[in-house]
Amino acid sequence: MNKSKKRLFTKIAVVTLIYELIFQGGGALLISYGSNIYSNEYISMIASSITALTVALLLLGITDVNISYKSFGPLKFMWLLLIVYGIQGLTSYIMNPFVDWLASHGYELGSSMDAASKTDLTNIFDIIYAVLMAPLFEELLYRGLIYGNLRRYGRIFAIIITALLFGLMHINIIQLLPAFLIGVVLAWTREAYGIQYSIMIHMSNNLLAIVLNEFAVDHTLITALYMFLIFGGMITVFVTVIKNFTKIIRDINHEQELGSNLKAWFTTAPVVIITAFYLILTVVTIIL
């Protein structure tokens, strides 16, 4: 059992790396050597993402997790979106002093901050990719293929590991913590309501990020919406955690093999190597 578990963990770790190599390297090759249509960076990224996801599907396969989903409605959508924005607000208080400290030592994180806030978009293809395609591909990989394969070892375990991989995948020190926590929310959404709703939340978050960062400065109503999402979101996070704290602890304790599964994950050599690789790349983005 432990050997088959570690084989799966190895495969998942390797697949995440292969996905990123095809996505990044394939996109670069298409831009440099593809036909004229691929001269647009985001069209190349869409094409390389489709290829990378197809390879991941062939390597991992689809596993039926056989979950009975709860009903989903507008109030639950608003609640989850507020939690996502509350996480971003709360983690900014943690990350901002660190960013200021790095800046005081000569390390500017302008490009990382642009990527985190979605302010580096210049045309319609950029927006289509950021709002529609990137969330779709990421959800299908992390909350679809990877979550489906890990779910057999427990709900909490699958949520934690997919969220961790999702955070590492961004290779951005500013996004690492919020992406991990948002990954927890998206994985829980996939578990409770279905992957279509984790895709919806992810797309909505990216769309709002673009609208708020582009127009909040010049439009009072959008500024008010931004303040509502951030501060209302932080309140929502606190209320949700306090209200469900006992249930969360009970669910963690109920998953009896959680500790052994986490130990198996973090002692699988390819997992350790690939995790270190992502972290090193994240540090390199600060230095460079």
What is 210-232 written as a DSSP string? HHHHHHTTT-HHHHHHHHHHHHH
Of 131, 129, 145, 144, nearest in space to 48 by CA: 129
Token pair recorded at residue 198: 């984790």
Q: Which pLDDT value is given to residue 41?
A: 83
Q: Which pLDDT value is given to residue 213?
A: 80
Whether 137 and 49 have beta carbons less than 8 Å apart is answered as yes
CA geometry: angle 100, 101, 102, nearest 5 deg: 90
Token pair recorded at residue 140: 């299908």
Buried b (16+ CB within 10 A) or exposed e, 262-272: bebbeebeebe
Burial class (CB in 10 A: 0-12, 13-18, 19+), 55: middle
Q: Which pLDDT value is given to residue 119?
A: 56
Q: How far are the Cα atoms of 102, 137, 222, 286 from residue 56, in angstroms, in the given order? A: 36, 11, 39, 29
Q: Which pLDDT value is given to residue 173?
A: 87
Q: How far are the Cα atoms of 59, 61, 90, 175, 176 from residue 238, in angstroms, in the given order? A: 40, 38, 10, 21, 21
- Dist CA 249 CA 241 (whole Å): 11
Whether 41 and 31 have beta carbons less than 8 Å apart is answered as yes
Query: pLDDT tens across 130-142, in order?
Result: 899 999 999 999 9
User: pTM higher than 0.85 for the full model?
Assistant: yes
Low-confidence ranges of the chain (pLDDT < 50): none
Domains in the chain: boundaries: 72-287
Residues 6+ apart with CB under 8 A from 280: none
Residue type (1 letter), 192: A
Percent of the chain predicted with pLDDT > 90 = 65
Q: How many CB atoms are closer than 10 A to CB 182? A: 23
CA geometry: angle 94, 98, 99, nearest 5 deg: 110
Buried b (16+ CB within 10 A) or exposed e, 226-235: beebbebbbe
